[in-house]
Structure 1
């Protein structure tokens, strides 16, 4: 039985220039047929005992963009979820959304079908930067949809922000933080731009046509982010995530706590029974596998005990609470110090880690240099 369920909707009306997720343009795609295949995959997962009798703790609709679906397609998707996924344990039902796609009707459909958490991809409140990112919404769209979501009944609302963008200035970042925090939301996620292969930005960078802020300016933006969030009463519970008490993302914490989750849909990933797997990404390959009665899995890997301990460290250290000694002992039957004592001592001497005897966690300096810290725990 898995603790979480991720459902992938790979359709977008516009492909953002930085995105490397599994996605396709909505137009001329077999969207209804895909939803049928997704429903069949969920049905088989239940038959295989993937959800147990009481279902997962969390359900997360991601993409692509789930809100790219038409109203009737959303209703169809929820009907499949309702018939295949027990909800006896469910404590969080989330979806990603784009501001210019969330109509009052779609908000009502989400609410009526049990979704209670929205993760809205705002990215910036600067119109020029939004255009540079390939986004199709305006800053006003973002503010409007938050009002409409609240009118529908949604309280648990998060927005995504990005910094370190091409030609982004500190003044633009400050203005985005001002407008974001003025909404008074209980959760914010903020990520620095990472230029991934097979994206528009990657091609531009290779042609020296992507003027990015330097590392120092990006670090200053991150520092300002942490200061402003703390001043607004939002606790940094993970490197890139900030929340009021009781509003942390339960689903994402499953990932960082290295717990089990099922992945359904084209390109979805899962971790169950000690095996990490990923589904076929191309729609045709995914759908053909489902229609032929096969698992739509492209590859899988049985995680060794050593790999699982490594993952426990580099995932757990992303959270500000860090990795607990007692939880490590309970999970692996070994003392954390016996396995990683030398790395912990070295990183502590460099002021990158700290320990209070109950857990080991990143220092503020370590938060800035997280990837360098995580590397020390990889074989």
Structure 2
């Protein structure tokens, strides 16, 4: 495995002040009173993986959710300190935290910075307050402006803004305004996602009842292409299907997933991949706490990855990156010739103009980026 001595660490904080209408993440409202027991359980889980992680150097930590910034900052500080006590954390470790506008006081941001957190992701989703209300967000764009300003004042340079396109009722003009706004704030990283309507969400139920009509594919793609061109022109280069960054500000933690490097997920519902085994945790907060109170790892599912699975994953995850996949790297990992193994698949995809082969590298074309799922299915 690539960089087998290095790994990433994901820490899940499942608490939210409200549930967004599109969200199907493992997050809960009205359960903040479980926070104390939850973070005590997280510390126990960190201890239980000390043996597995002793051969790894952790060079990225990502604290996600949920909304990690809704809990008292002391919980976050204690978890990071516990990780440093039990694991080998690299000196230049990228440590990210997700947050929502309105939850980031100056005191909290300074505490994060002092604890070594050096990257912060703030969820905007849309510039227009009417769209934020429709999405079920509990902030305005002014709250986002204030959060970015406060983060910069606290010393954060590495700031990400999350945005969504393809929202019902969102015009191309609205989308352009959102992009203009983020660029004007001087943010170094932008994640731009097409709205996906999931079954077990408020939007999913609305679609089923006929009160929500998804945006037409043509408009969705027009928004996407505009974002790719506009952000590239403004110094935020596309390095992955949905991610754009100024040079040197690419998210190192997400690159771990796309490059098939090992990672451990801690917390309720967190997923892991270590030593060719994929596993996940108990989903509910209560179930997660119960397992750890008994001194057991809170495992929910565990599946070994076959050699062929690892090769497939390398292909369909690596092709998400605009840099594409490398034949040399593939051979170093698997002792196989990528171009021999996938000769027929590459020929089919090339004939459909979905991939471009240049020397040792295979990349998605612009059409391939639009039809990425069709490409990925070829390797599953």
| Residue pair 1:39, 1:77 contacting (<8 A) in 2 also | yes
TM-score (normalised: structure 2):
0.96
| Residue pair 1:269, 1:277 contacting (<8 A) in 2 also | yes
CA apart distance, 1:232: 0.1
Query: What is the alpha-carbon distance in structure 2 between the residues aligned to residue 14 and residue 216 of structure 1?
Result: 32
Query: What is the alpha-carbon distance in structure 2 between the residues aligned to residue 170 and residue 284 of structure 1?
Result: 43
Aligned equivalent of 1:49: 52
Gaps of at least 5 residues in structure 2 are none
Aligned equivalent of 2:199: 197
| Residue pair 1:2, 1:51 contacting (<8 A) in 2 also | no
Equivalent residue pairs, number: 376
Aligned equivalent of 2:27: 23
The DSSP-based 3-state class of the residue aligned with 1:91 is strand
CA apart distance, 1:89: 5.2
| Residue pair 2:197, 2:204 contacting (<8 A) in 1 also | yes
Q: Once the two structures are superposed, what CA deviation does each residue of 1:107-140 show, in whole Å capped at 9, x if it has no partner?
A: 0111010000011111111101101111101100
CA apart distance, 1:283: 1.2
Aligned equivalent of 1:137: 139
Question: 1:345-360, aligned counterparts within 5 Å?
Answer: 345-360=347-362
**Are residues 1:295 and 2:297 paired?**
yes
| Residue pair 2:15, 2:32 contacting (<8 A) in 1 also | no
Aligned equivalent of 1:36: 40
The 1:2/1:298 distance shift into structure 2, 3 A limit, reads farther
CA apart distance, 1:207: 0.5
The DSSP-based 3-state class of the residue aligned with 2:211 is coil
CA apart distance, 1:51: 4.6
CA apart distance, 1:227: 1.1
Query: What is the alpha-carbon distance in structure 1 between the residues aligned to residue 256 and residue 166 of structure 2?
Result: 27
Query: What is the alpha-carbon distance in structure 1 between the residues aligned to residue 61 and residue 363 of structure 2?
Result: 28
RMSD value over aligned CA atoms? Answer: 1.3
Question: 1:263-274, aligned counterparts within 5 Å?
Answer: 263-274=265-276
TM-score (normalised: structure 1):
0.96
CA apart distance, 1:83: 2.7
Query: What is the alpha-carbon distance in structure 2 between the residues aligned to residue 357 and residue 169 of structure 1?
Result: 41
Which of 370, 376, 380 is the aligned partner of 1:368? 370
Which aligned segments of 4 or more residues in structure 1 are displaced greater than 4 angstroms? none
| Residue pair 1:166, 1:211 contacting (<8 A) in 2 also | yes
The DSSP-based 3-state class of the residue aligned with 1:29 is helix
Aligned equivalent of 2:10: 6
| Residue pair 2:73, 2:112 contacting (<8 A) in 1 also | no
Aligned equivalent of 2:70: 68
